[in-house]
Chains A and B, each alone.
Chain A
């Protein structure tokens, strides 16, 4: 079941790097879990810790280790965030750490889909808005923005607003706190009819 998401106000952790891939968000060594636990400690661990080891020394320069960004619940990232592997462990790790939203100029398709199924809002903005947000956080790390999912707007530090696009169906599910499997299960009759009309050529049990 997804967490409900309506309106969220918070500070931002700036990660001005393009093409942040899901291997950086959570390395493959964390994918041996059979549940969703323990992933937050692996979030960005190769950048957060000197030897990539959460037991080891922290990289003081990395944004999540900087005191002024400790409580940030919005990640402000460079273009094409979440590219690479389809691992849903990436949004699980971000959510587990406490992030509620990621703002970027663009997101990889699978990451976007996975994030929205886990209550992690992806907020696409223009290059101009992105640059203004990075500047604002650099000037004042306590800069707050408000993300309003109902109206699909992001309130900006200069008092302006930016509209953002979000898959209307995922938005409905997030606002209602419902999940997509329930919606699919209700289509059982239509799926059954489709199967009856389209017999399969394949039986994986045959080889």
Chain B
């Protein structure tokens, strides 16, 4: 255990936000610094407030966007959407009405600040070190990249936060995930987190908050750190944290909602006190050698079923007996065999996007592979920026043109094919290389089959129409 004078980053943030500490089995009451809201998980929460005659306690600490079910096809306007997707359209209308009623800032369709909730939070400087951040979305863990305690909540809890700005929480345990060394060429943040989940298993972090440490993590830029923290939930941890440092501060300075002037200096001094103290200990620790990592790709129906791209799917005899049935069920769904190589497997779709990998640096990495090349014949390639701001920057800098010239579809910002709520989806039986976060059965469309991978792997696979090792394209 950590002694009284030394604390982890998590413990420092936790203690700062205790309205009441919680004793004798009662949960703590934790104050929430930022509540992010979107159309899908909020309507029933607003209804719960209305039923009790409650108002939103802190609209100034609440921010809403439209992302999950919004169209990414630029030709679909509001009027068309009402015809194509009346249910989704009604949900967007309801969010607008709820936000207007309660004075919550909303980035609706057409607003140039709009985007995927976990892309715009950091982009606007709304998520800051030391904060507690929640959202009715499991990938809220993304915001841990700036050194905030950020986690997903259910709709009942969305209602709790709207009404009280607080949550009832039991203190989770801490889990240090140390990634040493420097990453080889072709290996990026997405490969780190896929390797972490493959090692720990998708329930490995249950009950814990990850803190990612080590040289390979420190060397990541902010957007790479967001990719790592984003998929903490795929390792079972509700939150993942990275200690704020100069990379964090450089990223945040000057962003619209970040402090400025004297307030910036005061914030900096405070933020520098957040990192885990020397001598503080974690409930659990694991170490990974980053220099030994390879590009990773998933083969099954959960994100823990991942292998180095040059490797092969495990033989069923190597799987523990009690897990064998689920393993074989996953392979049956994927129409793959134990021991099979994935490299060279023909694919139908490539999706570059999602709150995991839709930021400017992700698009830049993919564009650098695709520049001057063409996507394979018959392959559908969707590139979906994470926010309107990312889209505009990519258009300004010529990245969008690279994608279009290569034969990819350049779309409007949104969650898109990550969860296939908006019409962007796989057809039954299709295979996709996807930069998103979940390869669950039917996640990207009923019957669709997903290989999760990095933007580099996705771009390399787009050129060949097959699962491809980006190192072969780069060399």
Determine if B291 is an interface residue (Cβ-Cβ < 8 Å).
no
Determine if A158 is an interface residue (Cβ-Cβ < 8 Å).
no
B446–A110 touching, CB < 8 Å = no
Determine if A114 is an interface residue (Cβ-Cβ < 8 Å).
yes
Contact of A88 among B155, B238, B322 (CB under 8 A): B155
Closest to A184 in B: B164
B153–A110 touching, CB < 8 Å = yes
Contact string, A89-125, partner B, CB cutoff 8 A, digits 1/0? 1000000000000000011111001100110000000
Determine if B29 is an interface residue (Cβ-Cβ < 8 Å).
yes
Determine if A151 is an interface residue (Cβ-Cβ < 8 Å).
no
> Within 8 Å CB of B238, what residues of A?
109-110
Contact of B440 among A23, A32, A89 (CB under 8 A): A23
| Stretch of B6-14, B86-94, B188-196, B362-370 that contacts chain A | B86-94
A83–B202 touching, CB < 8 Å = yes
Closest to A118 in B: B156
B87–A33 touching, CB < 8 Å = yes
Q: Which of A7-30 contact B (CB under 8 A)?
A: 16-19, 21, 23-24, 27-29
> Within 8 Å CB of B326, what residues of A?
17-19, 78
B137–A181 touching, CB < 8 Å = no
Task: Tell me the complex Cα distance, A203–B258, Å.
Answer: 10
Minimal beta-carbon separation of B106 from chain A (angstroms): 10
The majority secondary structure among interface residues of chain A is loop
Contact of A106 among B52, B59, B206, B322 (CB under 8 A): B206
Task: Tell me the complex Cα distance, A52–B446, Å.
Answer: 7
Contact string, A67-100, partner B, CB cutoff 8 A, digits 1/0? 0000000000011100111111100000000000
Q: Which of A18, A46, A80, A187 is most buried by chain B, counting CB atoms within 10 A of its CB? A: A18
> Within 8 Å CB of B26, what residues of A?
168-169
Contact of B160 among A17, A52, A181, A201 (CB under 8 A): A181
Minimal beta-carbon separation of B12 from chain A (angstroms): 14
Minimal beta-carbon separation of B262 from chain A (angstroms): 12
Q: Write the residues of chain A forming the contact surface with B, with a CB cutoff of 8 angstroms.
A: 16-19, 21, 23-24, 27-29, 31-36, 46, 51-52, 78-80, 83-89, 106-110, 113-114, 117-118, 127, 167-169, 179-181, 183-185, 187-188, 190-191, 194-195, 198, 200-207
23 A-B residue pairs with Cβ-Cβ distance under 8 Å, sorted by A, are: A17-B326, A31-B421, A32-B421, A80-B206, A80-B236, A86-B137, A88-B136, A108-B203, A110-B138, A113-B157, A167-B170, A180-B160, A181-B156, A184-B29, A184-B166, A187-B20, A200-B61, A201-B267, A203-B60, A204-B62, A205-B105, A206-B256, A206-B257
